Structure 1
């Protein structure tokens, strides 16, 4: 094996990733979502909770790791995706981004739509040599490989949700149908994965046992292509981590089912459209069931008679240093019982140099948290509660 030639091919593939327009469109879309989040947080709490750049940094390492692991499976399985299919996938990504919905960037939707369009796309000529070649490539590749890719991306999505989806969820104020102000947490994330693909460029030998390589090309190159995995979930009845892990497990189950169908589709071509439909319907069913469950449960982040439910903790604040957690209930501040944000800050002023909180934790047990306070501490001590201000009508749920 010529390791030098392999290294050159890998460098070319990585270079193509940074030249791909979709990569920069995904970056801009992620920053746009971060900007809208910060605007909302300032409107609700008069302060941002997380920086805009955190929307890029938090998913960065998990995205790179997931992309490399998925690439090893794709190359190991011999999945060959021609440029025409990649271009079609990029177009689907862009159209979905125009909706502004992060959740629709799930590979169940982007991959499922790409596969369905590839199946029904007529073999037409446009007069443009490059476009005609892309369309021709879509009709020469075994689309079972694309079906298998969708299932692997969905399983990757599930693991990203489980391991990274609950990081830095954003607190938010909404108005319930009964007109009551409630708090929720929103998880919204875009993972941009660099995925390496074998690129056909001439005849490779046909294999009877693995139909993915049953195409007429003579050599393979390597390209790194940006793929997005979008995730969005609103939680109001429990701690974010519990709801998000539940979501991830359900997505994993759907991904495994789609994987089984995609493996069968490698040998039974009529199952290929079933893979796309199962992916889309399965992912949408998970989202719908989780939303219906949230609607039925009691709101966790509301004002209570026995204290204040912590809706958010600002990073690098005294509250974070005290290891105060979302969902815990503050009952006393400096020995004074509190039941409203106004009472909380009034009690805080009784000792401007020190803060002692009596808290009921997630296990229902009382614990104490305390810290010294200094002039210029960020946003008081950094706790966010459900406020009583009138909310705009668009926040009605």
Structure 2
């Protein structure tokens, strides 16, 4: 049943992006119909109001460090979710341009039926599917963990159950957010819980769609750089086949345009991702720190530790996937010009060799993804964020002691 569902997500018009495009449309992040657009925009607005209520609650409970840490870890993640949703909705034309370029490029290459190129494309499509489905499972597990954690804590803690029954403790809540009615008991609690469940599913949907889309497109650029490197190696075959001047210039021009379009659309993708990743890098450092503080607090119960550990793992995995795939693109873009010098350039005349030198110079331009104007998204940044989070954790631990 699962495989049938996944197979339905495939789209011959979008060889790489079939599941991604389907998820964006069904998730309400891309809509053309006015009625549906109004409904989904209303959903986004309701989620935005919820984030505001989380910050109001954070101000109210600011004196209680433990409650503030728990509120902060989820409030910051909610902020990033809303920011990602706005990015997809308001700049969907730019996203669609990139996705159209990805699909058109792959379809034109697959039509040529070159075995090497086809194998490269199929390999990175298979890899992208694995990453996408793994990430969707991770987000789904995180969503259900966040929703079910308060209930599990209630069931596994007799002391807490007794406190709830005698009215000295509030009912367990999924997230800490202010509402203008009493949310600790009765109808107010039911309304708050349903609202929080809705927002949790909404946040999981946005995160799964945005992150998988960005990561899959990064995988595309890595794969296409490999394709370009192979095309450069095969510019003149093995050196023994006759290649006319016009044909040689055409092949060089095709490689140049291939790289030029990749530079253009990777820059466009970076313009979309960079503000989001700048916010996420800052927030992720604080979220990892806050989760680590909660994990090592003496008063934290066993089930709560499990919830925090799973949440912390999801945060680190999310950041790791961005940095890893961005690092792959950077590394491959630094190696792609080797294909020019691995070709049978020696079989060509001086005019062609000069053109090859110009192509080699063009291919030295690297593709980079950044988090704002301050840092690149690579493994060095990932390690630096973990170190910074540990430093914040040490500082907070000493202050608490």
* TM-score bracket, shorter-length normalisation: under 0.3
Structure with the higher fraction of residues in strand conformation:
1
Instruction: Provide the TM-score with structure 1 as the length reference.
Output: 0.26
* TM score, norm. by length of structure 2: 0.26
Greater per-residue helix proportion? 2
Greater relative CO, 1 or 2 (CA 8 Å, sep 6+): 2
